[in-house]
Structure 1
Amino acid sequence: MYVSDLALDDFRSYRHLVVGLEPGISAFIGPNGQGKTNLVEAIAYLSTLSSHRVGADRALVRRADDGEQPGGAVVRAKVVHGERPSVIEIEIIAGRANRARLNRGACRPRDLTGILRTVVFAPEDLALVRDEPGVRRRFLDDLAVMLRPALAGTRLEHDKILAQRASLLRSARAHRGRGSSSMESMMSTLEVWDAQLAAAASRLIVARIEVVRRLRPWVESCYEAVSGNQSEARLAYRSSLLAHEGAIEPEPGTGWDAVATAESGLADAQAVAARLEVAMGGLHEREIERGANLVGAHRDDLSLFLGSLPAKGFASHGEQWSLALALRLASYEMLRHDVDAYGGDGEPVLILDDVFASLDDRRRQALASMVVGAQQVLVTAAVDADVPDGLAGARFRVAGSEVTRD
């Protein structure tokens, strides 16, 4: 698939932009702060309905210099799958629910999920190795939704139930000692939320396990390519449910067969839901004391290893870059080989946002050689010299949020 046309209104620094694109490699060149990243961020937003740079959509609406603040931003693109184009549009409305259109007809925003697949590699991706588990959970969930777009609804449902159950736990903590009738009512309601959260969380966990299983061989081969065979990259799903049940945490020393066995025990949604419900029931007292949900998909993690050591805390800066890059390239390869999607045309648009300047020459050349044959690659760079010679293609100049083609 590829994006053939992009239009922006009041998105980030762009008052209005229309730009035509084509398959192959397109590089957007310009000094920092001129709008390159904003442009590719808009394309990625249509894919995941979230920004890879900020958590709040409000920041995506252009801030007017004249004091007249736009009410929202519009991102519109024509996406081509084989010979079949789709026009997708999202209206980002500050302080309100977003609106969406598919082929000019109104739809729910989540109905756009899966129409455009993107994989973004940006300097912020070091967070995949360095930062807290939430970053890696989002990484897995984004990929799971691209593989199974119906999971977008499950993800929203899970987060809503999680927040409502946490609110009930805090209320129960506040009402302790105020009378047995109110607590009995709250505990009865809590059991209902247990079942609902367990059902939604189990579907997410099973989807993540599928992603990890499919991603694993690609991470190993991509890390080998970008690192020059320096060490072996491994990944494992770290489950709060398994930890609660007393299972051994995934570590290289325990043997990868044990890791695979543990993950296979999380592959049946109905069974996982039943186990989660039991775990939640046994944690009610502790959860009320802390006012927090203590077991489930929201407390899981993706463990990353280089050789026999955890990447977080032990990997060098260069190794962290290589591993982050391998995770994104592996995502691209996994989606590209998802041959059942879109009649065999599920290859994602690959976005390389200001990454070449941060890589040494060996990693630059390795990355360039791996992506040169992709159906569509969008590159941003401050200067032409940052783009490897092997990535010949269209060149666009970006200055003051104006885009012109060479």
Structure 2
Amino acid sequence: MRLNHLKLVNFRNYDSLDIETKKRVIILVGDNAQGKTNFLEAVYLLAITKSFRLRSDADLVGEKDDFVRIEAGVISQNRNSKIEVVLKKQENRGNIQKVIKLNGQMAPVRAILGAFSAVLFCPEDINLIKAVPGARRRFLDIVACKVNSTYCETLMGYNKILKNRNQVLLRINRGIGNHEELIFWNNELTQKGSFIIKFRQNMAQRLASLTKIYYNKIARGVGTAPLPELNLHYLPSFHVSPKLDEEAISLRFRGELLKKEEVEIARQQTLSGPHRDDFTFILGRKNIVFEGSRGEFRSAILSLKLSELDFLKENLGERPVLLLDDVFSELDRERKRRIAALVKNQQVFITTTDLKEIPPDLRREALILEVEAGKIEKIKTQSVKQKRNPK
């Protein structure tokens, strides 16, 4: 999978950008706040149709602009495709209309997920380990939606059912609802919820095995001392053995709802289900959430992201585009070398403030782009050295 061309109009600090990106390694170099991360944000938005930095599309459209347009030419499964995402201000409403097109035709989100895929690592990702459980569930959901459109549709259906069930709980609490309604929504919730739980469980099991391997490659020291194993543990809101099938999970889920019914009515919310799931990392015998160092956080999340790459390759048949935002700045020389060897298997976009932070093997084959105030200039390696180290 490869992104060959990117065009931006009114996106962040890019008033207008039209650039080819056909090479396997693309390095964006420049000072802070010049537009390097904005570039990656645009590419990743094409992959999931949402910004990884904002909750609302409205925040992407500037006060003086009426629209934002992101276009890209991509190659997937040896097919050329054109993806376009446009955000338009709606007159007199203050809302944003999102228009998604694939090869010039209006397309649903699931079509884009199948046409272009990317994996992002940015400095903020290390916060995922200590973030609220919802952030980790969102990670699982994004990965799952990239490989399975049924999962995406089921998740949207589950969230609608959950909202309806919570409304029933509220009405019963106020004495204006009935339990027959609750039984109906219990059946709907457990049917879709069991699929989500089982899919996440299988996916987390595969990610766990890959993450363990990558952590050992990235974090091992120079000496021969054994490295503690990194284990990813999926944590459903109620006990679910990996041996259970969907039907058995559904029955157990229904039992949990019945057991907690009185408490749920009192609280007016559903207390069990995939919307309460989580996952955590155990390094050796310690939970790194409470005992891990920043370096261990970084290595764990980077291992998880590389595992996501492999998982998507196994399910999609090709490796996604990799986006690395300032990944090399806090690594020592040996770990930089290891990361460089691991990320060369697919097209990769890398940002940095200093080209010297990038291992020579990556620099030699890269398209190097200097970013300054929303403008991009293609330059040779020697030119960058001269600009970064003036005499």
Q: TM-score, normalised by structure 2?
A: 0.88
Counterpart residue number, 1:325: 302
Counterpart residue number, 1:141: 141
Are residues 333 and 50 of structure 1, via their aligned partners in 2, closer, same or farther at CA, if it must alter by over 3 Å? Answer: same
SS in 2 for 1:355: coil
How do 1:374-389 residues align onto structure 2 when only pairs under 5 Å count? 374-389=345-360
Amino acid at match of 1:83: N
Q: Return the offset for 1:138.
A: 1.3
Q: Does structure 2 retain, via aligned residues, the 8 Å contact 1:222–1:329?
A: yes
Counterpart residue number, 1:224: 216
Counterpart residue number, 1:294: 271
Counterpart residue number, 2:382: none
Q: Return the offset for 1:127.
A: 1.9
Q: Return the offset for 1:191.
A: 2.0
Deviations 1:48-98 (A, max 9, x none): 22322222222222x24xxx342x322221110243111112223453452
CA distance, structure 2, for counterparts of residue 98 and residue 155 of structure 1: 21
CA distance, structure 1, for counterparts of residue 102 and residue 307 of structure 2: 29
Counterpart residue number, 1:258: none
CA distance, structure 2, for counterparts of residue 21 and residue 57 of structure 1: 26
CA distance, structure 2, for counterparts of residue 162 and residue 127 of structure 1: 28
Counterpart residue number, 2:323: 351
Do structure 1's residue 270 and structure 2's residue 247 form an aligned pair? yes
Are residues 132 and 360 of structure 1, via their aligned partners in 2, closer, same or farther at CA, if it must alter by over 3 Å? Answer: farther
Are residues 362 and 165 of structure 1, via their aligned partners in 2, closer, same or farther at CA, if it must alter by over 3 Å? Answer: farther
Are residues 50 and 273 of structure 1, via their aligned partners in 2, closer, same or farther at CA, if it must alter by over 3 Å? Answer: farther
Q: Does structure 2 retain, via aligned residues, the 8 Å contact 1:227–1:322?
A: yes
**For structure 1, which segment, 394-403 or 130-139, has the greater mean C-alpha deviation from structure 2 after superposition?**
130-139
Deviations 1:358-382 (A, max 9, x none): 323332222112112x220000111
CA distance, structure 2, for counterparts of residue 46 and residue 164 of structure 1: 32
**For structure 1, which segment, 10-19 or 114-123, has the greater mean C-alpha deviation from structure 2 after superposition?**
10-19
Counterpart residue number, 2:223: none
Q: Return the offset for 1:328.
A: 0.6
Deviations 1:102-134 (A, max 9, x none): 110112233212221111111111122121211
Q: Does structure 1 retain, via aligned residues, the 8 Å contact 2:236–2:277?
A: yes
SS in 1 for 2:362: coil
Do structure 1's residue 208 and structure 2's residue 208 form an aligned pair? no
Do structure 1's residue 88 and structure 2's residue 83 form an aligned pair? yes
Q: Does structure 2 retain, via aligned residues, the 8 Å contact 1:23–1:375?
A: no
**For structure 1, which segment, 320-329 or 107-116, has the greater mean C-alpha deviation from structure 2 after superposition?**
107-116
Amino acid at match of 1:365: R
CA distance, structure 2, for counterparts of residue 73 and residue 152 of structure 1: 26
Identify the match of residue 236 of structure 2 among 220, 234, 239.
Answer: 239
- Identity rate of aligned residues, in percent? 30
SS in 2 for 1:3: strand
Are residues 104 and 285 of structure 1, via their aligned partners in 2, closer, same or farther at CA, if it must alter by over 3 Å? Answer: same
CA distance, structure 2, for counterparts of residue 89 and residue 273 of structure 1: 39
Are residues 171 and 402 of structure 1, via their aligned partners in 2, closer, same or farther at CA, if it must alter by over 3 Å? Answer: farther
Q: Does structure 2 retain, via aligned residues, the 8 Å contact 1:114–1:145?
A: no
**For structure 1, which segment, 284-293 or 268-277, has the greater mean C-alpha deviation from structure 2 after superposition?**
268-277
User: RMSD across aligned C-alpha pairs, in angstroms?
Assistant: 1.9
Counterpart residue number, 1:311: 288
Number of residue pairs aligned between Structure 1 and Structure 2:
367
Q: Does structure 2 retain, via aligned residues, the 8 Å contact 1:215–1:331?
A: yes
Q: Does structure 1 retain, via aligned residues, the 8 Å contact 2:57–2:96?
A: no
CA distance, structure 2, for counterparts of residue 215 and residue 199 of structure 1: 25
Q: Return the offset for 1:36.
A: 0.9
Counterpart residue number, 2:375: 402
SS in 2 for 1:53: coil
CA distance, structure 1, for counterparts of residue 7 and residue 167 of structure 2: 41
CA distance, structure 2, for counterparts of residue 237 and residue 2 of structure 1: 32
Deviations 1:243-296 (A, max 9, x none): xxxx7xxxxxxxxxxxxxx2232xx23332232223223322111111211000
SS in 1 for 2:360: coil
CA distance, structure 2, for counterparts of residue 278 and residue 100 of structure 1: 41
Amino acid at match of 1:277: R
Do structure 1's residue 198 and structure 2's residue 208 form an aligned pair? no
Counterpart residue number, 1:280: 257
Amino acid at match of 2:349: L
Counterpart residue number, 1:98: 98
CA distance, structure 2, for counterparts of residue 97 and residue 162 of structure 1: 26
Q: Return the offset for 1:306.
A: 0.2
Q: TM-score, normalised by structure 1?
A: 0.85
CA distance, structure 1, for counterparts of residue 48 and residue 313 of structure 2: 17
Q: Does structure 1 retain, via aligned residues, the 8 Å contact 2:74–2:82?
A: yes
Do structure 1's residue 79 and structure 2's residue 74 form an aligned pair? yes
Q: Return the offset for 1:196.
A: 1.9
SS in 2 for 1:397: strand
SS in 1 for 2:149: coil
CA distance, structure 1, for counterparts of residue 256 and residue 301 of structure 2: 33
